[in-house]
Amino acid sequence: MAVTSPRPLVEVRDVHTRFGRSIVHAGVSLEVREGEIFALAGASGCGKSTLLREIIGLQQPQRGSIRVFGREVVGIDDEAALSLRRDWGVLFERGALFGSLTVAENVGLPLREHTDLDDALVDEIAAVKIALTGLPSGAASKYPSELSGGMRKRAALARAIALDPRLLFLDEPTAGLDPLSATGFEALVRHLKEALGLSILMVTHDLDLLWHVADRVAFMVEGRIVGIGTMEELSVSEQPLVREYFHGPRGRAAREQAWKPR
């Protein structure tokens, strides 16, 4: 019997983006398959986060196609976009938690906006999601300003999985975290992927995160994809820009660390 590849949940085809005279994307194409952790990597300013914003419908490219769950996102109307967003969760780089709401209220907000569940059940589900991300129960009643950076990331992640999404988007999930918190977040992402059956698209330039978490990586340089594959495949690429990125001092250290028992 022939083995079939997992179906793509995200399909980006020939995307072109320009801000004024600045070219952000020049024909970007990629696929994110069901059940994988796919990473967009590259130096700051290469177009990673802009592409993520286009995939989730916060920006529009000038040309190209972006399909999520088989539905076109470019030019989608508000009602259709709302339907899609119920099936994905987003962790923004700075968390984007509402400062006037407690952690429990932040996590419960998507449930109150998109379901008809009563308050007691919303609170119960929010408590489960908070626990899943490794936050202590006492964190539920705290405000974002009372949390450490690592705890705010986990609270924002709890909100991102509140609606049991099929697909999770992570924008620089370890940015601003100390090494210990970043390592803990890596383990959390792997655990949630397995426990909840998530497919994940993350944007990052964290080499440790790429080695320890990503199944496949697309490497971007100045708005173009110059390599897609596993970290092992990219680390032996003959493409000069890819080799430069993965074989610098930080790249070598991250690779060596990845092979050590954790």
| pLDDT at residue number 148 | 87
pLDDT given at position 162: 92
The answer to whether the pTM exceeds 0.85 is yes
- pLDDT for 1: 45
- Do 139 and 55 lie in one domain? The reply is no
Dihedral, CA of residue 76, residue 81, residue 87 and residue 92, to nearest 10 = 100
Do residues 81 and 108 share a domain? no
Same domain, 156 and 172: no
pLDDT under 50 in the chain at which residues? 1-3, 252-253, 256, 259
- Judge whether 200 and 193 are in contact, CB under 8 Å: yes
Sequence-distant (6+) residues with CB within 8 A of 126 are 104, 107, 108, 111, 140, 158, 162
Are both 145 and 193 inside the same structural domain? no
The CATH number covering residue 188 comes to 3.40.50.300
The answer to whether position 204 is within a domain reads: yes
Counting runs of H as helices and runs of E as strands, what totals does the chain give? 10, 10
Output the six-digit token pair for 254. 């991250």
Query: Which of 119, 139, 164 is the C-terminal boundary of a domain?
Result: 164
Query: Which residues lie closer than 8 Å to 32 by C-beta, 6 or more apart?
Result: 8, 9, 10, 38, 167, 199, 201
Would you say 37 and 215 are in contact if contact means Cβ atoms under 8 Å apart? yes
Give the domain extent around 142: 99-164
Q: What are phi and psi of 253, to 5 degrees?
A: -65, -40
What six digits make up the tokens of 158? Answer: 């709890």
Whether the Cβ atoms of residue 139 and residue 130 lie closer than 8 Å to each other: yes
The pLDDT of residue 257 is 54
In a shared domain, residues 197 and 251:
yes
Q: Report pLDDT for 177.
A: 80
93 within domain boundaries: no
| Residue 217 C-alpha from the chain's centroid | 12
Note whether 146 and 221 are same-domain residues.
no
Residues 146 and 41 in one domain: no
Q: Residue 53 is encoded by which pair of tokens?
A: 């914003």
**Residue 38: strand pairing partners:** 201, 216
- Tally the domains of the chain: 2
Residue 113: predicted pLDDT: 87
CA distance 31 to 7: 9
Question: Per the domain annotation, does 83 fall within a domain?
Answer: yes
